[in-house]
């Protein structure tokens, strides 16, 4: 650190006046010695640990390991909690609270005497939410990802946490699973600490962080229980102190090139469609222009290099043993912006020069990929004027060009009530249309786009048909599912006017999604349409409904886009 550089924390701890006394004195009850307040970089450890967030249940221990590294490097660690978003427990959806958690993070960082930040992440929304908040302050920041669980094992079968969820109905209806079978599988599928062990949203977010340059190289792939996870956590604690001395802030790392690297990497690993919404929101906070079309333009032609569920057959543990993300990053060298800087102060080229692949059945090469053009495709048409997305690597090839009659559900409640009705007119050529699950409509845009098929189709061995909604899909799920339709039905997007029997045409190759209804008829339907009443009249949820942007813009709150920086103008007394 330049001797002339003034630590931000010195505004709290450096004075010999009344306010210096106030700021230091109450921390003294923790037993800190004098030298902690005399020029040591203060490092905030932003912890998303919670017993209500099972995937992050081990981060309390990780925080202590990070502290060791900070102390070794001459820093002063102070851990603080923020709102934790437990994907598997919270109702109606954690996406409703992602922006709230980002506000918690942003204001906790700005209001306190912190020079650098370590973000402890894991479960799906905990990663983007606290990165968004940190971006709006723009201090030196490093991410410590909690890591995936070990592979699930059930009666000789390797099963993925998350992906198994979407197979339960099928296993019960076709496989004859009993209640006891399900109970046993519950334990076997989640047999260690960590987040989902497929390339679901949690692993995708960790991959995103490393590809953006926000983690130490190789960190994102390591399973939560592996001792190397704690090793990297300690090294991250050391490194953040150096980043403060170097003035290496988030805005110096999160360049346009870094975002493009992340898009390319996400395509190569078969990452979650949720990646689009979260990366767009992060870009909005740090001031990088990123639009929906960029994900198609930059990433859609990238081949699939990783054979992981839900796009393949292996799990994150296997990925790590094969060499993990560093092998993928090295393989992608011809496609990446290799001079992009990362948190260790080195470039992508420097970080991933000597990686070796140990299993080509898990990680392929650009010359012999598992699938060509595997990146997320962005669709346009009269059914999604501002765009919709589909994940080709997880879809059924024969359905990528399809024309079928709409079977419409006005809400999730309508779907649950009628989907298994034996008299429901639906077959393998139908297109399920689900309304009212967008950002404003649910509210919060839940992961329901990959709705289960009717029992009568499952009984015939049909496991996939085209499904369209303004909602999201879990990164652990698969299927020919069109998501993030924008504008959503609740605000009067064309999706709101679809009726049973309307013909819908999908052509992924041409990037089109078309409702075959005459314009005059659509205008008539729109005039007759009555907008639904908002589902909240007070509190945060009302604020969310009033201010959330559409999916193509990242579903952030409009007044949170951008940042306020780290300066606090007024004192507390």
pLDDT score recorded for residue 154: 78
pLDDT score recorded for residue 166: 59
Domain 379-536 is in which class? alpha beta
Please give the Cα distance from 301 to 388 (Å, whole number). Answer: 17
- Give the orientation angle of helix 95-110 with respect to helix 539-547, to 10 degrees: 100
Please give the Cα distance from 305 to 56 (Å, whole number). Answer: 28
Structure-token pair, residue 278: 């979260």
- For 222-257, the DSSP string reads S-TTSHHHHHHHHHHHHHHHHHHHHT--HHHH--HH
Kindly report the number of other CB atoms within 10 A of residue 372's CB atom: 10
- For 535-572, the DSSP string reads S-SSHHHHHHHHHBPPGGGTS-BGGGSS---S---S--
Please give the Cα distance from 212 to 279 (Å, whole number). Answer: 10
DSSP β-bridge partners for residue 380:
512
**Where exactly are the structural domains of the chain?**
7-39, 40-150+192-353, 379-536
Collect all residues with Cβ–Cβ distance below 8 Å to 457 and sequence separation of at least 6. 426, 427, 428, 465
Please give the Cα distance from 272 to 210 (Å, whole number). Answer: 15
Contact 237/70 with Cβ under 8 angstroms?
yes
Please give the Cα distance from 342 to 354 (Å, whole number). Answer: 17
Tracing tokens 């330049």 back to the chain, one arrives at 2
**What's the per-residue H, E or C state across 348-390?**
HHHHCCCCCCCCCCCECCCCCCCECCCCCEEEEECCEEEEEEE
With 0-12 / 13-18 / 19 or more C-beta atoms within 10 angstroms meaning exposed / middle / buried, residue 5 is exposed
List, run by run, the mean pLDDT of 10-residue segments along the chain (573 residues). Answer: 78 92 94 94 98 97 98 98 96 97 98 98 97 98 97 80 66 75 78 93 97 98 97 98 98 98 97 97 98 96 95 94 98 98 97 96 97 93 98 94 98 97 97 98 96 94 97 89 98 98 98 97 97 94 98 98 95 83
Collect all residues with Cβ–Cβ distance below 8 Å to 19 and sequence separation of at least 6. 12, 571, 572, 573
Global model pTM greater than 0.85: yes
Structure-token pair, residue 479: 């299927």
Length of the chain measured in residues = 573
Fold (topology level) of 40-150+192-353: Rossmann fold (3.40.50)
Contact 497/408 with Cβ under 8 angstroms?
no
Structure-token pair, residue 336: 């990446």
pLDDT score recorded for residue 171: 72
């Amino acid at each position: 650190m330049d001797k002339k550089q003034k630590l931000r924390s010195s505004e709290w701890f450096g004075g010999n006046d009344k306010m210096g006394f106030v700021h230091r004195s109450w921390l003294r009850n923790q037993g800190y010695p004098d030298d902690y307040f005399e020029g040591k970089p203060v490092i905030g450890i932003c912890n998303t640990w919670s017993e209500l967030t099972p995937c992050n249940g081990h981060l309390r221990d990780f925080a202590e390991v990070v502290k060791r590294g900070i102390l070794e490097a001459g820093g002063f660690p102070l851990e603080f909690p923020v709102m934790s978003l437990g994907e598997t427990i919270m109702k109606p959806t954690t996406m409703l609270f992602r922006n709230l958690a980002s506000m918690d993070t942003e204001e906790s960082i700005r209001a306190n005497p912190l020079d650098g930040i370590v973000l402890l992440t894991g479960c799906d929304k905990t990663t983007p939410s606290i990165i968004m908040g940190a971006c709006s302050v723009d201090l030196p920041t490093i991410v410590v990802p909690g890591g995936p669980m070990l592979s699930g094992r059930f009666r000789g079968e390797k099963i993925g946490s998350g992906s198994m969820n979407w197979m339960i109905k099928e296993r019960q209806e076709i496989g004859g699973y009993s209640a006891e079978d399900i109970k046993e599988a519950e334990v076997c599928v989640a047999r260690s600490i960590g987040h989902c062990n497929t390339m679901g949203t949690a692993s995708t977010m960790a991959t995103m962080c490393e590809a953006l340059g926000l983690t130490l190289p190789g960190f994102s792939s390591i399973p939560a229980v592996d001792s190397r996870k704690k090793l990297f956590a300690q090294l991250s604690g050391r490194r953040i102190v150096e980043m403060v001395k170097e003035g290496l802030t988030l805005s110096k790392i999160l360049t346009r090139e870094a975002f493009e690297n992340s898009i390319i990497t996400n395509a190569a690993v078969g990452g979650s469609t949720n990646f689009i919404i979260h990366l767009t929101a992060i870009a909005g906070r740090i001031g990088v222009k990123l639009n929906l079309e960029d994900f198609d333009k930059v990433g859609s032609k990238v081949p699939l290099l990783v054979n992981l569920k839900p796009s393949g057959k292996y799990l994150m543990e296997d990925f790590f043993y094969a060499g993990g993300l560093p092998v993928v990053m090295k393989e992608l060298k011809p496609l990446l912006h290799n001079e992009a800087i990362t948190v260790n102060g080195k470039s992508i080229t420097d970080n991933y020069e000597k990686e070796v692949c140990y299993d080509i059945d898990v990680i392929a090469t650009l010359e012999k990929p598992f699938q060509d053009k595997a990146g997320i495709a962005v669709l346009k048409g009269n059914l999604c004027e501002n765009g919709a997305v589909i994940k080709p690597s997880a879809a059924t090839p024969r359905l990528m060009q399809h024309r079928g009659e709409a079977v419409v559900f006005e809400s999730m409640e309508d779907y649950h009530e009628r989907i298994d009705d034996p008299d429901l007119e639906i077959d393998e050529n139908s297109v399920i249309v689900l309304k009212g699950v967008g950002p404003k409509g649910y509210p919060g845009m839940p992961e329901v786009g990959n709705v289960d098929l009717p029992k009568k189709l499952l009984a015939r061995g049909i496991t996939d048909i085209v499904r369209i909604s303004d909602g999201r899909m879990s990164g652990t799920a698969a299927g020919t599912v069109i998501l993030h339709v924008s504008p959503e039905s609740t605000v009067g997007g064309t999706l709101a006017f679809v009726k049973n029997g309307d013909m819908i045409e999908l052509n992924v190759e041409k990037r089109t999604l078309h409702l075959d209804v005459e314009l005059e008829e659509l205008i008539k339907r729109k005039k007759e349409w009555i907008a639904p009443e908002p589902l909240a009249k007070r509190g945060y949820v009302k604020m969310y409904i009033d201010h959330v942007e559409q999916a193509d813009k990242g579903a952030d709150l409009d007044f949170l886009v951008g940042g306020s920086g780290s300066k606090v103008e007024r004192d507390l007394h």
